[in-house]
């Protein structure tokens, strides 16, 4: 596999050094950039025009990752030319969040093939129900297919996002690329690094991603009691205090859920993922050093043995909430990841509105407030 990464200005167009592709069917362009490209798509189109016939996937971000740096208002680009792996893209329109499950099933169905080994999913970050998206993907894709990706971002504005479809940025779609053949190597890792505190509580009333009661007490009232004087900063302060959920108290798998909104009248909390009744929830709080260590732990999980000598692309997808919480220390988590990757690996990525990855093995989950890594390489 030949691999190159580069940055490109999002505010104006300059020539891209193109070259003939050995086989467009085995070539993939991945790119991430700011939401403003929805209005001025020229830079995206210029980059993709340099590689005619190549498969392309990408999305808007809440900050672009390039190597160990975090940038804003740029395009970061990865060009992968596989030796034997073939790639194929797919897309599905999501008319409203209620159609997320059906769109995901249709998307996965377009990619299914006995030779399918992995899927990278990039979705509109605002008009899609992430939990239903995951359910739809898992209803079709077998556990042997490594599925990862993320939800597009829009800085801290939460107004509009895009994904690449037919060579240009569009809203309202979920997209994916499938990797086919026995040579492709896809690894993954996802970790948070948040500290648990307080007792676990039973989710006694919820509807989708809206939590009404914990242990039959109003969720918002209970949350404010734990935040104390910080409660006046809600909902923004909630980024520092997500919740962990698990289906039973014996379950080792905890998923992190970020609070998006509060409702004083209903005394409810709205999350960036489902909060199922009968599950258990526990408060979490930020610890800067542990968050950075969590990013390093994700890279350790993703650093596959036997790939050290092969060109390797690391796709780093981290939550916008982590960027806001870490502030000036944010680049430390990107550096911590890069330190663990195989020597010579190249890295691009973005800050997202949700991360997609298996918890450890098997089918994918929706994560919030994590650093999620996917590495792509090819066996000789």
> Which domains does the chain show, CATH number per domain?
2-191+289-378 (no CATH), 195-285 (2.40.30)
**In the 3-class helix/strand/coil scheme, how is 227-266 assigned residue by residue?**
HHHHHHHCCHHHHHCCEEEECCCCCCCCEEECEEEEECCC
In order of 47, 129, 369, the CA distances from 239 in angstroms are 35, 19, 9
Instruction: For residue 93, give the 3-state DSSP assignment.
Output: strand
CA dihedral 83, 145, 103, 28 (to 10 degrees): -20
What length does the chain have?
380
Nearest to 234 by CA among 268, 203, 200: 268
- Computed over its alpha carbons, how large is the radius of gyration of the chain? 20
CA dihedral 14, 20, 21, 22 (to 10 degrees): -160
> Where are the alpha helices (H) located in 162-302, listed in sequence order?
219-227, 288-302
Give Cα 137 distance to the centre of its chain.
Answer: 15
Q: How far apart are CA 316 and CA 78, in angstroms?
A: 12
What pLDDT does 326 receive? 95
What pLDDT does 306 receive? 53
Nearest to 201 by CA among 108, 283, 97: 283
Q: How far apart are CA 237 and CA 227, in angstroms?
A: 9
What sign does the CA torsion over 90, 138, 155, 96 have?
Answer: positive
Q: Confirm if 369 and 355 have CB atoms less than 8 A apart.
A: no
In order of 7, 64, 268, 355, the CA distances from 349 in angstroms are 12, 6, 33, 12
What pLDDT does 14 receive? 86
What pLDDT does 17 receive? 79
Can you give the pLDDT of all 380 residues of the chain as single tens digits?
A: 999 999 999 987 888 877 788 899 999 999 999 999 999 999 999 999 999 999 999 999 999 999 999 999 999 999 999 999 999 999 999 999 999 999 999 999 999 999 999 999 999 999 999 999 999 999 999 999 999 999 999 988 889 999 999 999 999 999 999 999 999 999 999 999 999 999 999 999 999 999 999 999 999 999 999 899 989 888 888 888 999 999 999 998 899 998 888 999 999 999 888 999 999 999 999 999 999 999 999 999 998 665 556 899 999 999 999 999 999 999 999 999 999 998 889 999 999 999 999 987 778 999 999 999 999 999 97
What pLDDT does 308 receive? 59
Q: Give me the DSSP letters along 305-349.
A: TT-TTS--EEEEEEEHHHHHHHGGGHHHHHHHHHHHSPTT-EEEE
CA within 13 Å, CB half, 147 = 29
């Amino acid at each position: 596999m030949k691999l190159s990464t580069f940055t490109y200005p999002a505010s104006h167009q300059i020539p891209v050094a193109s070259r003939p592709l050995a086989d467009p069917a085995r070539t993939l362009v991945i790119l991430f950039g700011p939401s403003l490209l929805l209005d001025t798509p020229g830079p995206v189109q210029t980059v993709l025009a340099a590689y005619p016939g190549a498969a392309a996937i990408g999305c808007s971000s809440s900050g672009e990752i390039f190597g160990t740096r975090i940038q804003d208002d740029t395009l970061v680009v990865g060009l992968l030319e596989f030796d034997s792996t073939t790639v194929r893209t797919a897309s599905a329109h999501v008319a409203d969040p209620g159609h997320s499950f059906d769109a995901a099933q249709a998307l996965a169905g377009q990619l299914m093939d006995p030779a399918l080994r992995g899927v990278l999913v990039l979705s509109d970050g605002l008009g899609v129900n992430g939990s239903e998206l995951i359910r739809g993907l898992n209803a079709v894709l077998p556990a042997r297919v490594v599925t990862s990706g993320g939800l597009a971002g829009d800085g801290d504005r939460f107004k509009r996002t895009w994904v690449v479809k037919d060579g240009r940025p569009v809203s309202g779609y979920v997209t994916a690329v499938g990797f086919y053949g026995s040579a492709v190597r896809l690894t993954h890792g996802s970790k948070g690094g948040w500290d648990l505190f307080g007792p676990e509580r039973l989710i006694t009333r919820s509807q989708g991603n809206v939590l009404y009661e914990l242990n039959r007490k109003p969720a918002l009232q209970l949350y404010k009691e734990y935040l104390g004087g910080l409660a006046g900063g809600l909902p923004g302060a909630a980024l520092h205090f997500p919740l962990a959920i698990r289906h039973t108290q014996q379950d080792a798998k905890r998923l992190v859920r970020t609070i998006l909104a509060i409702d004083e009248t209903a005394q409810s909390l709205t999350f960036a993922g489902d909060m199922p009744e009968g599950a258990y929830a526990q408060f979490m709080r930020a610890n800067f050093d542990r968050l950075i260590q969590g990013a390093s732990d994700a890279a350790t999980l993703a650093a596959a043995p036997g790939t050290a000598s092969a060109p390797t692309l690391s796709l780093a997808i981290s939550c916008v909430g982590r960027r806001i919480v870490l502030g000036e220390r944010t680049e430390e988590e990107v550096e911590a990841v890069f330190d663990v990757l195989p020597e010579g690996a190249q890295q691009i990525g973005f800050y997202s509105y949700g991360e997609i990855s298996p918890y450890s093995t098997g089918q994918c989950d929706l994560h919030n407030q994590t650093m999620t890594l996917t590495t792509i390489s090819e066996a000789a």
